[in-house]
A and B are shown apart, each in its own frame.
Chain A
Amino acid sequence: MIGVRDLVVSYGTATALDHVTLTVEAGEMVALLGPNGAGKSTLANTLAGLLTPASGTVEIGGRLALIPEGRQLFPDMSVADNLALGGWRSGERDPSYAYDLLPRLAELSRRRAGVLSGGEQQMVAFGRALMSRPAVLVVDELSLGLAPNVTADLAGHLAGLNRERGLTVLLIEQNARLAFDLCRRAYVLESGRVVTEGECAELAGDPRVAGAYLGGAIT
């Protein structure tokens, strides 16, 4: 699970997260929506332990893995090496662990990560995160820059892992349709604050949310 309470994170004098409180129960898949600059990636990096909070508490039940925004692979290394390094924390160095979960990766294993397509790179980033055998997965912008069919494929794998293995997922997205399809609950972050939260079905009916994130189509 993820338990965030009154979290404040600052860059110098600028406050990126302002008293954020958020909970993801074990086995749950929750979405975090918000525009650019809302503090979504700051939250992701704080959950991953890469940023130190100014105040507040972060509680993670089990090992957390992050699929960072922009994939962030090791471009000059092979896919297999990228995956093996994903197992730094877990000690799982055999990439076949990831191949079992994401079979497409086995075909790419010897390719250099930097030359792959965006969708393939996201798949490698996904596999690399799974190599740490996480209990909690934070996905920062799964769909960014990817074709809809590629996104759907990745989302299918994500939903499968959540359903079948009980993987706890925080899905950070700008694509609200995708988030609402995959998750039951969502938080909306704007300017570092949680402005609204609730069941996706209700949020989709909220005129403000629909207007900002669904292009007003639902209202």
Chain B
Amino acid sequence: MSAFLTYLLNGLAVGCAIALIAGGLVVIHRVTGVVNFAQGTFAVVAGLCVSSLLGLGLPHGVSEVAAVLVAALAGLLTGLAAVGRRGTTPLSSLIVTLGVGVLAYAVEIVLWGDQPRSAPGLAGAVTLAGARIQTQHLLVIGVTAAVFALLALFFGRTYLGKALTACASNPYAARVVGIDTRLMGLLAFALGGLLGGIAGVLVTPLRPISFDTDVTLIVNAFAAAVFGALTRPVVTLAGALLLGVAETMAAGYGYGSHQLEVALGLMIVVMIVQAGRRPAISQEQT
């Protein structure tokens, strides 16, 4: 029983990290209509940055915040490339984000090499109802909860958040009322970079990060985001937690090499169910 609880809590932490990256996908898609395949890259950049900054002797806190800001900057630059030119279609932008992801490999290898890097996080573990959970895992869960609460407030209650949503809902109408959709798109990409960065900083102490870790991250995050139809943050969070728990359980009970297949399988099932439920493609076009 305690093993089950341990897997469950660890799974929730894994799911939270996925949720943060998926949250970035959702924010960017909601505002620009673009599926950002460079989303995993932001986490990798932040993870590699934090390992370097801590290695240079910078204190915790400063290093993490700086790494997250670098990821936000990476998000902004990706946005400039993907949606910076007015009139770029979401599909063209998607291809650009793929290109940015590949370019990022080269940059990361030049700067950090191709070996996985790690970073120290919160040490120690606590015992909850007989289940041992690493303190870093608890930190991941706490930070994710706070971030999603803030996101919900931002998009649901603030004027800027509503303006961002308006850009995705009806880009033409947004321009009619005077909203600069290009600027809002860039803001969304920066926010996506920020969320990816937070995930990267939180995950690096738990599992070493290398330049190509983004593939695993983006596959999982994409599965969760598809669960939320790429527009609904709360459903995405639920999907990510489900995915994290399912993968951790699979690993815990001896199917460790099939973690990614669990994500892919779940994504396919969700896509089939959603395709039957509503016209997802036409919905995106409006």
Contacts and interface: CB of A to CB of B under 8 A. Distances in A.
Interface residues of B, number: 15
A77 interface: yes
Nearest to A93: B159
A89 interface: yes
B145 interface: no
Contact of B173 (A68, A84, A93): A68
B175 interface: yes
B159 to A, nearest CB: 6
Interface string B173-211: 111111100000000000000000000000000000000
B169 interface: yes
B169 A75 contact: yes
A74 B162 CA distance: 10
Interface in A128-162: 128, 132
Nearest to A114: B169
Nearest to A89: B178
A141 to B, nearest CB: 14
A98 interface: no
A172 to B, nearest CB: 14
A77 B159 contact: no
Contacts of A66: 176
Contacts of B162: 77, 81, 84-85
A76 B169 contact: yes
Interface string B149-169: 000000000010011011001
Interface in A74-100: 74-77, 81, 84-86, 88-89, 93
Q: Is the interface of B mostly helix, strand, loop or mixed?
A: helix
Interface in A48-86: 48, 50, 66, 68, 72-77, 81, 84-86
A128 B165 CA distance: 16
A84 B169 contact: no
Contacts of B2: none
Nearest to A131: B177
B4 interface: no
A88 B163 contact: yes
B170 interface: yes
Pairs of residues from A and B, 7 with the lowest C-beta to C-beta distance, nearest first: A72-B173, A89-B178, A74-B169, A88-B178, A88-B177, A74-B166, A68-B176
Given A74-B165, A85-B179, 11 more contacts: A50-B175, A68-B173, A72-B173, A72-B176, A74-B174, A77-B162, A81-B162, A84-B162, A85-B162, A85-B174, A132-B178
Interface of B: 159, 162-163, 165-166, 169-170, 172-179
